[in-house]
Chain A
């Protein structure tokens, strides 16, 4: 196993009367991409901010590399590159001026910063825009610039807080190529938060967050396996009627619309009888059924099943 680069143990953070993060523990290894997945307000950003020491812990401990974030803050931070959710570079500076500033305050000397900056801008594909004001960049380019600024001191750990929110699909692809490359080639430990399931499935391990807690944590494959044989796809019309019918069945845990189809989570051992009973009711009530079959669970199903079952 690779070295543990981020070790968070029982960390908690309270804002006023709300626990933004409650008793979370997680580990990220060198070269590993760990995805924090959850809805808005689940506590992803707070977790990230606690790990890089932007916020102060209420309880628990965080070790980054070999350094305690509270007691050896500066050494710990020298290992971290952080891309905040909100664009946090200077809009009135150019791309190069931004990179130069963060390179210099990170301790790079005058003859080090320029080649390093050009190197990174080239890596993220911003070299042609180096003299453009950061405020004039598109959303995707801003995120790339943020990544470049976070990479300038060759961090061993990267914290990326929703790096692809508001970014076009092509740039999202580019971005993930960069993330994967950094983890694989440079052995950077990555903690990435995302609301997107397709991105979560690219991580080595995923933690599902809700209400400040990590509900489950595993590889995407294992998570999907846990629902194997329980997810069914239903096609037909009219969809609202179909949904109402299946929701009313006692053994259907939940039914979720997926565009033109419905995903069912049937918790009991899905004997053929349940499916037959469902088809029958649909036809009796005037609906038409084109397809009802077992499918491979997707990560989204895992996520929804966690949320839905938790509400009960």
Chain B
């Protein structure tokens, strides 16, 4: 089905890609940059939160408590405040994210049989850090408290080992260490495929119009469908190369597991490309300049990055946004690629997503093809 006209179109496109530094940067540098940025920076793993301590007791018991906080790597005790005012000042200035206040009679109460309260102040302006430090602080306090309780009972001659009636024993599947990169990197593959193919096809087609070369193409016997296919095949090839590039770096450098079948990954990525290429072609039929085309694609790209579950879980969104998220093909592909890489599932587990992507691909492609004309008006 690849005839000589199509072959020369594709060959010409590749020559042009090779000679255009902007496209080369977009194809080679951007994916790697995104991969490293999102693999490292976009992490929810909160560690080493700076903590100020106001120890009004100075007993050995207080020191032991601080050691417990130090031991868990959630906190880094960076300041020893001498007054409540100083502690508040440190939080105000953002020097520390949280503060721990140990009251003056702490040692006596703990060493005796009394109970006491320690105060944990925290900066709630960043909810992610705040919620992590809150639960960490509570957990450390509780564990330490349980330990003291056990010691007291022993002291009173009770040899019975304290045991909680219910123990929750978590088993984390697929990503046992909860590494953010394992979640982000499959998403990066989805985003790169989507952004790159839609932007590049749109601009590649519009470029012919912008530079006037379309006028000469029109008078040749090239069919409109050949023109479209000749434009998208080079970018499909590049997209596949990019997918492999991100997969290899992800697996080798970030240790992202690739548990699914590689052929299936490529096949379903190809299915997803139908939608993104369709959007690119569609944008090219409405835009007159490459910039316009870029803008149109971005307008569809931006909401889909935020609403497709790339950064934020869809389940946590308000209902209305959840409904809207159904119109973004990226939503389905993200489910597919994450499941394929991390869970290693087969086609049957992804049936719904595959059906949705197929419908999207066919609808967008045929709408775009219908609008595509090989004429100037």
Contact = CB atoms under 8 A, between A and B. Distances in A.
Given A53-B219, A54-B376, A107-B4, A84 B16 contact: no
A105 B8 contact: yes
Contacts of B58: none
A276 interface: no
A143 to B, nearest CB: 13
B216 A88 contact: yes
Interface string B182-221: 0000000000000000000000000000011111111111
Contact of A105 (B212, B214, B221, B375): B221
B4 A109 contact: yes
B221 A88 contact: no
Interface stretch (A27-35, A96-104, A244-252): A96-104
Which of B221, B222, B376: most chain A Cβ within 10 A?
B221
A89 interface: yes
Given A90-B16, A90-B213, A92-B20, A54 B8 contact: no
Interface stretch (A74-82, A165-173, A205-213, A284-292): A74-82
A88 B220 contact: no
B12 to A, nearest CB: 5
Contacts of A104: 4-5, 7-8
For this complex, into which size category does the number of interface residues on chain A fall? 20 to 34
B216 A89 contact: yes
B16 A54 contact: no
A234 interface: no
Contacts of A101: 8, 12
A289 B211 CA distance: 53
A53 B9 CA distance: 21
Contacts of B376: 49, 54-55
Given A105-B8, A105-B9, A86 B221 contact: no
B370 interface: no
Contacts of A93: 12, 15-16
A206 to B, nearest CB: 25
A57 to B, nearest CB: 10
Interface string B1-41: 00011011100100110011000000000000000000000
Contact of A78 (B5, B217, B221): B221
A105 B219 contact: no
A67 interface: no
A54 B217 CA distance: 10
Interface string A270-298: 00000000000000000000000000000
Contacts of B15: 92-93, 97
A90 B12 contact: yes
Which of B211, B216, B222: most chain A Cβ within 10 A?
B216
A246 to B, nearest CB: 45
A54 B215 contact: yes
A108 B106 CA distance: 94
B4 A102 contact: no
A105 B222 CA distance: 7
A149 B20 CA distance: 23
15 contacts: A49-B376, A54-B376, A74-B221, A77-B219, A84-B215, A86-B212, A88-B212, A90-B16, A91-B211, A93-B12, A97-B15, A104-B4, A104-B5, A106-B220, A149-B216
Closest 5 CB pairs of A and B: A104-B8, A88-B216, A86-B212, A88-B212, A84-B215
